[in-house]
Amino acid sequence: MSVLVNKNSKVIVQGFTGSEGSFHAQQMIEYGTNLVGGVTPGKGGTTHLDRPVFNTVAEAVQKTNADVSIIFVPPAFAADAIMEAADAGIKVVICITEGIPVRDMIYAKDYVKKRSVTLIGPNCPGVITPEEAKVGIMPGFVFKKGKIGIVSKSGTLTYEAADQVVKAGFGISTAIGIGGDPIIGTTTKEAVELLMNDPETEGIIMIGEIGGQLEAEAARWIKANAKKPVVGFIAGQTAPPGRRMGHAGAIVGGADDTAAAKMKIMAECGIHVVQSPADIGETMAKALKKQLA
Amino acid sequence: MNIHEYQAKEILKKYKVKIGEGLYANSAESAVEAAKKLQELTGTDIFVVKAQIHAGGRGKGKFVGTEHRGVMIAKSIEEVREKATQMLGNTLVTIQTGPSGKVVNQLLIAANVYQKGATEPKELYMSILLDRGTGKDVIIASTEGGMDIEEVAHSTPELIFKEFIDPAVGLQGFQARKIAFNLGLQGNAFKDMVKFVTSLYEAYKGSDASMMEINPVLKTSDDQILAVDAKVSLDDNALYRHPDLATYRDITEEDPLEVEAGENHLNYVKLDGNVGCMVNGAGLAMATMDVIKLAGGEPANFLDVGGGANAKTVEAGFRIILKDPNVKAILINVFGGIVRCDRVANGVVEAYKNIGNINIPIIVRLQGTNAEEGAKIINESGLKVRSAVILKDAAKLVTEALSA
């Protein structure tokens, strides 16, 4: 078991022949992901990285039975790519692209929701189930196999957390990069829920950022449903209000979406909140020990 | 991207949202010209002189060392000249500018719209923005115009009305009518409000705005509905499809270091602390700022060098951080994935040598791909740079550097 992607996932790449798509497709193949082909409109019928290229996602699904897609197309065309994947019957759509207009995402999110498709991202590092499938841009070697699930809005901070977990003697079941945009397909709560219900996951790390209410929503859900220890961190304790900190969604809008406010709610809901990102691994180790004692 | 009130009103006008007439000015002369033209256009004898800066609270804000406000009434054309002179070139401090304030170089001269008449003028509130929780646009309206809406939401939440827009079909007529009824309007004012909301939503959608706030919306004494003020932010990611709106960018409103960073494709936000930082990835960059604080420092900036950190970006980042005189130490934190740590280390050493004269301690924390090779390069460089692999150790080095 694992969540979202595993060794049986048949993955296609949208924006397959572009520079980003090519580079990361190659990396995913080397990792061992079952990458069955890709889509680049106008290049159908050719071969790229020893895999077939299709003009449309529909054709790719028909010929390869793909069920997972990863999107690298430029921001102006990314929402269209998300909807194309959903329409073609892809079950899990992972969008890496950063910089998609918010209006496009309002439409795309509504579109995938009505088709019961799981969208991860956009503006995310993707999803990895170690030793089974890497569908993203993360450095695979950091993620040793194990029983800790990670949900995170950030890319490199996810790698940091995974590295600490491994150094603390554990490993990763599945790491889900949900993305740092104001509109994302899968929320913190939904991703935590997947890991909470995964029998192979024994502990969950939840990494959030300033801005929005996703962590508070997840915390309340955890309070009512937690069966496993959750360690939480919110980046941006020192961020000033009203300034966008890199990610489009990372902006303090009011008193209730600061790091301090989120950490308070998370602690009240029984999450092991760390003040320093350097303590994520150790805190998870302690929480698991306590659970067993 | 934030824009000025006069620019926001240009957008509204394009979408047929009724606004209080006004004209742009950037000198006392052009202010007088604008007032004369407005008089011809509207017949008004009373004008409102409004400072154009990217910050709210102008009406209550004061110019440094005076009692002059950022929004002032002028009862004659001569008074327009006087008020304009009091504002232009001077620094306005409002609740949103911070204590250093902002220099006013541009004005909007507006016609008075609060004339007495058949009915009392009434100030209302309206805004449209994204509701992140539902992923839908929401229209927020209130009978309590001209006030701080967060205050209204806190003290009288029953006077705030929200209407969520279905992405598939957009704003519907019944929703526009509901808003107008909720605001207690009748007759022509009701009809005008339905048009106003509908056009405002079109303007919001059509310009890819991330926020439009009209506070106040005025019901005039002759039962018209119009926008007296307008605050608009545009979605940066959508500017590529609005070349006309992209020209609204006013770089004099931005921090010069942030402008320079943008030109180098670096994501930089200037802060007030004493420890600079350079990081790959926005989340890790914020987390690194938090580490600095916990180590006893204050972050001097947010700086995300992105996924393609190389010698050139590292050097550009260094130069920008070093221009801030408050910086007493720099922490570089890179988690190598696709980016190789040995390359980043070489970049740091090269940049350090190119810049020369760096007299503050530099701490480089490299982790991930080729981390050990990276640390070796830093340690053997002979430069005043200390390296760390574990984040905790980097934090300790920051504390040491600050207490040295």
Whether the per-residue pLDDT at A132 is higher than 90: the answer is yes
Whole-model pTM?
A: 0.94
Q: Which residue has the tokens 């320079």?
A: B260
Are the beta carbons of A130 and A171 closer than 8 angstroms? yes
Based on the number of CB atoms within 10 Å of its own CB, is B201 exposed (0-12), middle (13-18) or buried (19 or more)? buried
Dist. CA B308–CA B102, nearest whole Å:
35
Confidence of residue A255 (pLDDT cuts 50, 70, 90): confident
Residues 47-76 on B with a CB inside 8 Å of A are none
Are the beta carbons of A4 and A186 closer than 8 angstroms? no
Whether the per-residue pLDDT at A137 is higher than 80: the answer is yes
Residue of A nearest to B265 (CA): A246
Dist. CA A135–CA A20, nearest whole Å:
14
Segment A71-91 mean pLDDT: 98
Dist. CA A143–CA B16, nearest whole Å:
55
Residues 271-290 on B with a CB inside 8 Å of A are 271, 273, 279-287, 289-290
Report CB contact under 8 Å: B337, A213: no
Whether the per-residue pLDDT at A198 is higher than 90: the answer is yes
Dist. CA B321–CA B279, nearest whole Å:
12
Of residues B183 and A291, which shows the higher confidence score? Answer: B183
Residues of A in contact with B238 (CB under 8 A): 101-104
Segment A100-107 mean pLDDT: 98
Mean pLDDT of chain A, nearest integer: 96
Are the beta carbons of B275 and B297 closer than 8 angstroms? yes
pLDDT at position B147: 86
pLDDT at position A2: 76
Dist. CA B135–CA B154, nearest whole Å:
23
Segment A19-31 mean pLDDT: 96
Number of neighbouring beta carbons within 10 Å of residue B27:
15
- Chain A interface test: which of B54, B275, B284 (most A C-beta within 10 Å): B284
pLDDT at position B159: 95
pLDDT at position A1: 58
pLDDT at position A147: 96
Residues of A in contact with B290 (CB under 8 A): 235-238, 259, 275-277
pLDDT at position B86: 97
Given CB atoms, is A160 within the 8 Å cutoff of chain B?
Answer: yes
Report CB contact under 8 Å: B240, A157: no
Of residues A251 and B82, which shows the higher confidence score? Answer: B82
Angle between helices B371-379 and B341-355 (to 10 degrees): 20
Report CB contact under 8 Å: A160, B241: no
Report CB contact under 8 Å: A163, B368: yes
Report CB contact under 8 Å: A109, B167: yes
Residues 159-218 on B with a CB inside 8 Å of A are 166-168, 205, 208, 210
pLDDT at position B60: 93
Alpha carbon distances (Å) from B121 to B44, B183, B222, B223, B229? 16, 14, 8, 8, 15
Q: How far is the alpha carbon of B131 from chain A, nearest alpha carbon, in Å? A: 9
Per-residue pLDDT of chain B (404 residues; tens, 9 = 90+): 999 999 999 999 999 999 999 999 999 999 999 999 999 999 999 999 999 999 989 999 999 999 999 999 999 999 999 999 999 999 999 998 888 999 999 999 999 999 888 899 999 999 999 999 899 999 999 999 988 888 898 899 999 999 999 999 999 999 999 999 999 999 999 999 999 999 999 999 999 999 999 999 999 999 999 999 999 999 999 999 999 999 999 999 999 999 999 998 899 999 999 999 999 999 999 999 999 999 999 999 999 998 777 778 888 999 999 999 999 999 999 998 878 899 889 989 998 889 888 889 999 999 988 889 999 999 998 888 898 888 989 989 999 998 87
pLDDT at position B319: 92
pLDDT at position A290: 84
